[in-house]
Copies of this chain bind each other. A is one copy, B any other.
Amino acid sequence: MRSEDEKNIARGSVCECNECIIRDLMFTHVPSDGSKYVCKTKVEVHFKKGEIIVRSGDEIKSMICIKEGLTKIYRSSRKHSDQIISITKPFEFTYLLSIFSDSHYNFNISAIENTTVCFISLENIKKMISENGSFAMSLLQKLSTATDNVIKNFTDINQKNLSGRVAYILLLFSDEIYKSPVFNLPVSRKEIAELIGMTTENVIRIMSEFRKEGIIRIRTREIEIKDYQRLKLIMDQG
């Protein structure tokens, strides 16, 4: 049976995206024909909202870079519900460094919006690292920053009470992802709960409280942050 990666690559077409980190790194560090290893094997694949991109247990054959849309990395455990580890934005790599530590995925990745991703042959990336140290160094820097942020988010969220966590996630979407006070939540309340470690009911309840207090406006998935300062205060004090 073919792996997900192989199936995905088979679906894809050659990618020419200019903002790509890898392309950027190659342009900076690989003198002439950087395309030798990477560009030939890059393929773009589109996933609809909700579709699974890779599954825990699959063999890792690609680095996956988000071109457009939004994805989540998550663990599924037998008894409990899923736990979301992080959300990945355009021009970030989905899977952090873990691609170097294991031959198979330990987490799942799925699209939480319609998403275009770029599969880049991991074998070739490894070859590039081995042959070009300054490329390696730059890639290492980018990946470790992302990993650091994941750890920082975990510790931040862990210390907050429920209101603080909900405030945190609303500000994340507003400030970091959509860069607007009005946005459509790409995730269900259940997924928010999985992201910040609480129950679905309490996510809903606390969002309702924020609404009653005039801090946010809710129209199902559409959220408007009306009192930014207050929400920030709740996040910081939670």
**Which A residues are closer than 8 A to B by beta carbons?**
75, 77, 80, 83, 85, 96-102, 106, 126, 129-134, 136-137, 140-141, 143-145, 147-148, 150-152, 154-155, 158-159, 197
Contact = CB atoms under 8 A, between A and B. Distances in A.
Copies of the chain in the assembly: 2
Given A97-B97, A131-B133, A137-B126, A80 B159 contact: yes
Secondary structure call for the A interface: helix
A148 B197 contact: no
A192 to B, nearest CB: 15
A140 B132 CA distance: 14
A140 B133 contact: no
A96 B148 CA distance: 9
B197 A158 contact: yes
A104 to B, nearest CB: 12
B136 A101 contact: no
Contact of A144 (B98, B131, B148): B98
Contacts of A83: 155, 158-159
A96 B130 CA distance: 21
B137 A130 contact: yes
Contact of A129 (B102, B133, B144): B133
29 contacts: A75-B155, A80-B159, A83-B155, A85-B151, A85-B155, A96-B144, A96-B147, A97-B140, A97-B144, A97-B147, A98-B147, A100-B137, A100-B140, A101-B141, A101-B145, A101-B148, A102-B145, A129-B133, A129-B136, A130-B133, A130-B134, A130-B136, A136-B137, A136-B140, A140-B140, A147-B147, A151-B151, A158-B158, A158-B197
